[in-house]
Amino acid sequence: MGDRAAPPEGIVVVDKPSAWTSHDVVARIRRVAGTKRVGHAGTLDPMATGVLVVGVGRATRMLGYISGADKTYAAGIRLGWATVTDDAEGERLGGAAAHELAREDLDRGIAALTGPILQRPSAVSAIKVDGRRSHERVRSGEEVELPERPVTVSRFAVLDVRPDAVGGYVDVDVVVDCTSGTYVRALARDLGAALGVGGHLTALRRTRVGCFDLDQARTLEELEEALAVTDMATAAAAAFPSLTLTAADANAVRYGRAIELGMAWTRSDAPAPPHALFAVDGEFLALARPRPDDSTEYLAVFAQP
């Protein structure tokens, strides 16, 4: 018998189906790829669908930096009542008739939730409270209120508004561009609260994580037929700013030695973003960012000596 082929390495963009957890998707890709070294870049709730970026092999070391990218969502919001979980799966809380809500009031409420804001994450989230995930506490009957944190919603646009006079609610389809860590279900909750009618999320589809979008995504059925893996060098060049090093600096990276990139980096008070370092021949060497003294902090080195 010949040697078994090595598992692929790189990024797989999955179109996650509804009712699947992100862990379920990882488990399926592990089986398809033939390796346990698989992870994902940012959880999607079971009710949500869309882009889930999965890393295979050494590409799992890139996932923590991909997960920090901005994201885009298409979402459905129902105004008329709130729920315990801020989505349609939770127990109904108080609300008020919303079907006659004026469009200018809706637009004003959305505008107040656009730009840099302080957001209290949904209690039904994976954030840990005293070692236990918040959503587990909520679903076991506990009351959880997480602290506010800064996020940026760069776009919160209304696509469609559908009032229902019989039900006394209004369904609003929106698209949201936001920074990592923004909860769209919290936007639905806060919009309903600001309008005095209550609100919750009815549908959520992630359409983009950084440079990875639905055009690249494949369903699990498609991936089982043909596992589409973007190699690490191609994925890194797309996901991060890139720098091509001299032969001497590339060799130093291979051995983990310090190099100085000087004015090649854009310096500011904010932490520098990860950069992908490449050799002249296109070899992907490392993810790195500068320290204040212009030396390089290696985040993950992929090149071999």
DSSP code string of 186-218: HHHHHHHHHTTS-EEEEEEEEEEETTEETTT-B
Q: How confident is the model at residue 146 (pLDDT cuts 50, 70, 90)?
A: confident
- Whether residue 156 is contained in a domain is answered as yes
Q: What is the CA radius of gyration of the chain?
A: 22
256 and 160, same structural domain?
Answer: no
Same domain assignment for residues 176 and 226: no
Q: Is a pLDDT exceeding 90 seen at residue 26?
A: yes
Both 91 and 163 in one domain: the answer is: yes
Q: Indicate the pLDDT class of residue 114, thresholds 50, 70 and 90.
A: very high
The reply to whether 83 and 167 lie within a common domain is yes
pLDDT at 197: 96
Q: Is residue 293 part of a domain?
A: yes
- Spatial separation of the C-alpha atoms in residues 29 and 9, rounded to whole Å: 12
CA distance between the termini of the chain: 32
Q: Average per-residue pLDDT in the chain?
A: 89
DSSP H/E element including 184: helix 184-194
Contact 236, 242 (CB under 8 A): yes
Range of the domain at 249: 240-301
pLDDT at 141 over 90: no
The more confidently predicted of residues 130 and 146 is 146
- Cα 168 to chain center, whole Å? 33
Return left, alpha or beta for 236; rule: phi > 0 is left, psi -120 to 50 is alpha, else beta.
alpha
Confidence at residue 139, expressed as pLDDT on a 0 to 100 scale: 63
Q: Answer yes or no: is pLDDT of 210 > 70.
A: yes
- The sign of the CA dihedral 23, 26, 30, 31 is positive
What token pair was written down for 172? 């609003």
pLDDT in tens, 254-297: 988 888 765 444 555 566 789 999 999 999 999 998 877 777 88
DSSP category for residue 271: P
| pLDDT score for 1 | 44
Residue ending a domain, choose from 196, 219, 234: 234
Q: What is the mean pLDDT of residues 64-68?
A: 93
Q: Are residues 65 and 76 in the same domain?
A: no
Q: Which residues belong to the active site?
A: 45
Instruction: Please give the structure tokens belonging to residue 69.
Output: 């990218």
Domain count within the chain: 3
Answer yes or no: do 108 and 29 share one domain.
no
- Is the pLDDT at 104 greater than 50? The verdict is yes
77 with 147, same domain: the answer is: yes
What would the mean pLDDT of 81-96 be, rounded to a whole number?
Answer: 89
> What pTM does this model have?
0.90
Local structure of 98: helix, strand or coil: coil
Domain membership of residue 4 (yes or no) is no
pLDDT over 90, % of the chain: 72
